[in-house]
Amino acid sequence: MPQSTPHITDSHCHLDFPDFDGELDQIIANATEAGVTRMVTICTKLRLEPQVRAIAEAYAPVFYAAGTHPMSAASEPLATVDELIALAAHPKFVGIGETGLDYHYTAESADIQQHSLRVHITAARETGLPLIIHARGADADMARILADEHANGAFGCVMHCFSSSKELAHAALDLGFYLSMSGISAFPKSQDLRDIFAAAPVDRILVETDAPYLAPPPHRGKRNEPAYTAHTARVGAQTFGMSYEDFAAQTQSNFETLFSKAIL
């Protein structure tokens, strides 16, 4: 990797998904060449945690987090606080989740999603690891639960792949949380979303791919991969009126502040 390539972190991807089967060596190499020196791969179903952990153990730049995705909250066994705390003992386990609320596809399981979210919040509070939130179509309940729980005891949090309302952005930022820019924020028609990010403190911004989903231009519609974090980060730099080098350095610092266990 050229010395001049700024370092960035893909704070959220899914390297265990079948989209990457047999290709991880190349995917990691592509990321490194693009300056993506760290990746956090996310386990969305706890029964798959051993496979996700194995990826983190096999590749030095890869860390991992685990939780029960809200869209699976009704179909997977509920995570327990003790189970999540036990996972957190692993040296490369750096976050709790993803968890959250998704009423766009799975509104019928809202009650169990909310219960699952609170379990994950408790684990984040007790481990000191950041919470990783998925929020879609549930802004009012999400803001309420996060505020209620934060009042019961502080915890760190990132609103992953943030594409919700400015009201939820403000609610999260007011609690000291972080917003993560995904490929959505680089889509041409996402100016309203970029405006929400531009109004946020730049020291609360992360970047991610959510790979294999949501590839940014010029790869939109194709399989996403961690290397493409660089495309989103370049749009992020423009959004904040910064050079790419300065924005990359800022997001690195932000990531290390929130994900303080994920230090290479």
Q: What is the pTM of this model?
A: 0.97
Instruction: Give the whole-angstrom CA distance, residue 146 versus residue 127.
Output: 17
Look at residues 250, 223, 181 and name the one whose alpha carbon lies nearest to residue 7.
250
Integer CA distances (angstroms), 34 to 59, 76, 88, 206, 252, in order:
17, 36, 29, 17, 15
**Nearest alpha-carbon partner for 63 in 48, 71, 53:** 53
3 state SS for 28-90: HHHHHHCCEEEEEEEECCHHHHHHHHHHHHHCCCEEEEECCCHHHCCCCCCCCHHHHHHHCCC
CATH number given to 8-258: 3.20.20.140
Edge-to-edge strands, sheet with 205-207: 8-13, 36-43, 62-66, 93-102, 131-136, 157-159, 178-181, 205-207
User: Can you tell me the distance from the alpha carbon of 231 to that of 218, in angstroms, rounded to the nearest whole number?
Assistant: 8
Quote the pLDDT of residue 165: 97
Tokens of 31: 């990321």
Whether 160 and 134 have beta carbons less than 8 Å apart is answered as yes
Per-residue pLDDT tens listing for the chain (264 residues):
445 799 999 999 999 999 999 999 999 999 999 999 999 999 999 999 999 999 999 999 999 999 999 999 999 999 999 999 999 999 999 999 999 999 999 999 999 999 999 999 999 999 999 999 999 999 999 999 999 999 999 999 999 999 999 999 999 999 999 999 999 999 999 999 999 999 999 999 999 999 999 999 999 999 999 999 999 999 999 999 999 999 999 999 999 999 999 987
